[in-house]
């Protein structure tokens, strides 16, 4: 693991690191914020998964999570959203290939060799973070848009590995959306039975979540048709899933929305992880 | 004035606007954050001047000022750092020409026709903001690096127009620095007597500031030699200038530093403007 940059931030350290990923078969860059409390004792970890077109950097610089993580004593990990590089498959569209890993393990070519973001986040990067940073084995997970999809699906499939869960404007029902059908078919093939494990609404129906879930959705989000928050909110109600679904009046899909509610989400995770 | 974008942020609106500037002789883009309190009554204004290479956008997305401005009920204005465009003079160096206006009115060609950021910020943009937004005639000013230089010099020369003043890692003594001598000589000519009006340390010696000043400086700033905080801190002491100069251990020159102390600065201005 190589240190790309470390900057002091709110009394802690915002770092960017690079490593050769076995899972993805390429170099991967990620960011970790370590709060000041970590100098005294290991802290719980909040995973923040980013959306389409993002790298580790967008949320690190725009979401404003550090201030709240420093207040509450949480580490925050910002993974990249896909494998990258010249030898890695790509597509001209912004929503397929590099920058659009969808947090699945691809089973179809040309994606299969590298696009394994599910295993990468859940296992390889988690191991690397555990080994190299002063963190407890207490993990919360959140994310925005495609990253909200990743957070919800990874957590519901691995309830033993996460103790808290939230999402910002998640892609909530990808098997029924153009943000989903295109990518799941490309990465996993046309058998839609294989897609259900990567659809938050279907997973919620099938498994639910052990704890309570916080979801924020902008009421003026320009992508409501693609995100399908109605499906998730409806299933939360029908399933009697403990949690809070908030429709936030006037907010769109941007980082200004994420930033506005970052404090609430960090506090939510801190209450459940400490 | 044309609206480029408006995003809901912390219950208020983060907007980006464009207008044809008479002062700069080109189109200028700027950002304004209006807090939720402005829906009820006009609010005071905090001017945030950015540093070398920045536009209106960097601090708007990275400095985290909105959260605190919403808490304290301040508008925040983010001007660009220079005139821009094809017809505007430029230099290959990052620290001269476009992105490097230094908040002066240039008197030398090729800069003279457009590089009038002093008048632009102090008069034209202030008029435009006053006319188009629900703001009081109460103004604070701050900035980072070249923008900290701008804030200190503009405020000290216009004590009737600003009621509060702070700076993040300002270029504090440009007449004695390579961040300053090069630009002041290009924009104002070789007569160093003309430069004194644009040097915070010299203005502090000559005029001081009516109120108290807050300055934060990262102790691990990679540009300490160019910023010359010692000159400013020393003059504050010799001049018995009321104020607070904080050397912040471990912080560098990045937005992670600005972000970490944004809350303190917004609170400082709010206390003095309300």
Q: What are the pLDDT digits (tens) for B17-33? A: 999 999 999 999 999 99
- The CA distance from A256 to the nearest CA of chain B, in Å, is 5
Nearest in space to B194 (alpha carbons), one of B91, B104, B97: B104
Residue indicated by tokens 């925040």: B76
Nearest in space to B171 (alpha carbons), one of B52, B90, B54: B52
Sign of torsion over alpha carbons B136, B142, B147, B150 = positive
Q: Which of A7, A10, A259 sits opposite B9 (nearest CB)?
A: A259
Quote the pLDDT of residue A140.
98
- Find all residues with CB under 8 Å of B163, minimum gap 6, and list them: B44, B138, B139, B140, B211, B272, B273
Quote the pLDDT of residue A161.
98
pTM: 0.94
Q: Which of B8, B248, B256 sits opposite A256 (nearest CB)?
A: B8
SS3 for B145? Answer: coil
Q: Which residues between 47 and 106 in chain B have a beta carbon less than 8 angstroms from any beta carbon of chain A?
A: 61-62, 64, 66-67
Q: Which of B9, B10, B252 sits opposite A7 (nearest CB)?
A: B252
Residue indicated by tokens 């033993």: A160
* A252 part of contact set with chain B, CB < 8 Å: yes
Integer Cα distance of B179 and B61 in angstroms: 25
Quote the pLDDT of residue A102.
98
Q: Which of A14, A254, A263 sits opposite B7 (nearest CB)?
A: A254
SS3 for A131? Answer: helix
The whole-chain average pLDDT of chain B stands at 98
SS3 for B89? Answer: coil
Q: What CA–CA distances, in Å, run from B148 to A23, B204, B217?
A: 46, 14, 11
Residues of chain B with confidence (pLDDT) below 50: none
Q: Which of B62, B250, B263 sits opposite A62 (nearest CB)?
A: B62
Please report residues of A whose CB lies closer than 8 A to that of B221.
none
Nearest in space to A7 (alpha carbons), one of B215, B58, B253: B253
Judge: B8–A250 Cβ closer than 8 Å, yes or no. Answer: yes
Nearest in space to A101 (alpha carbons), one of A60, A140, A65, A55: A55
* A7 part of contact set with chain B, CB < 8 Å: yes
- The CA distance from A213 to the nearest CA of chain B, in Å, is 22
Q: Which residues between 205 and 224 in chain A have a beta carbon less than 8 angstroms from any beta carbon of chain B?
A: 218, 220
Please report residues of A whose CB lies closer than 8 A to that of B61.
61-62, 255
Residues of chain A with confidence (pLDDT) below 50: none
Quote the pLDDT of residue B17.
98
Quote the pLDDT of residue A224.
98
Nearest in space to A135 (alpha carbons), one of A13, A37, A264: A37
Chain B residue closest to A218 (CA)? B8
Please report residues of B whose CB lies closer than 8 A to that of A4.
none
- The CA distance from B189 to the nearest CA of chain A, in Å, is 38
Nearest in space to B9 (alpha carbons), one of B79, B63, B47, B81: B63
- Residue A1 CB-half CA count within 13 A: 18
Q: Which of B8, B64, B256 sits opposite A8 (nearest CB)?
A: B256
Whether the ω angle into residue B207 lies within 30 degrees of 0, i.e. cis, is no
Judge: B256–A64 Cβ closer than 8 Å, yes or no. Answer: no
* B250 part of contact set with chain A, CB < 8 Å: yes
Chain A residue closest to B218 (CA)? A8
Quote the pLDDT of residue A250.
97
Nearest in space to A168 (alpha carbons), one of A65, A35, A53, A43: A65
Tokens linked to B247: 């050397």
- The CA distance from A14 to the nearest CA of chain B, in Å, is 8
Residues of B annotated catalytic, as ranges: 145, 221, 253
Please report residues of B whose CB lies closer than 8 A to that of A8.
218, 220, 248, 250-252, 256-257, 260
- The CA distance from A188 to the nearest CA of chain B, in Å, is 36
Please report residues of A whose CB lies closer than 8 A to that of B248.
8
Quote the pLDDT of residue A84.
98
- Interface A-B: count of C-beta contacts within 8 A: 65
* ipTM (interface predicted TM): 0.91
């Amino acid at each position: 693991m190589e240190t790309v940059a470390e900057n002091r931030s709110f009394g802690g350290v915002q770092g960017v690191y690079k490593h050769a990923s076995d899972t993805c078969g390429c170099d991967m860059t990620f960011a970790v914020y370590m709060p000041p409390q970590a100098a005294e004792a290991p802290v719980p970890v909040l995973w923040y998964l980013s959306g389409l077109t993002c790298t580790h950097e967008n949320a690190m610089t725009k979401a404003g999570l550090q201030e709240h993580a420093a207040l509450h004593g949480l580490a925050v990990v910002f993974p990249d959203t896909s494998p990258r590089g010249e030898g890695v498959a790509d597509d001209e569209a912004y929503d397929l290939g590099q920058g659009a890993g969808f947090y699945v393990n691809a089973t179809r070519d040309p994606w299969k060799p590298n696009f394994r973001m599910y295993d990468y986040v859940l296992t390889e990067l988690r191991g690397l973070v555990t080994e190299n940073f002063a963190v407890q084995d207490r993990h919360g997970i959140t994310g925005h848009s495609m990253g909200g999809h990743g957070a919800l699906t990874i957590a519901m499939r691995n309830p033993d590995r996460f103790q808290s869960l939230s999402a910002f404007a998640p892609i909530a029902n990808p098997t029924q959306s153009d943000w989903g059908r295109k990518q799941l078919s490309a990465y996993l093939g046309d058998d839609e039975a294989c897609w259900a494990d990567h659809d938050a609404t279907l997973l919620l129906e099938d498994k639910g979540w052990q704890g309570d879930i916080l979801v924020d959705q902008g009421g003026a989000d320009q992508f409501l048709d693609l995100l399908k928050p109605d499906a998730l909110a409806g299933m939360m109600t029908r399933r009697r899933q403990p949690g809070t679904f908030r429709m936030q009046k006037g907010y769109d899909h941007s980082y200004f929305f994420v930033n506005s509610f970052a404090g609430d989400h960090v506090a939510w995770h801190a209450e459940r992880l400490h």
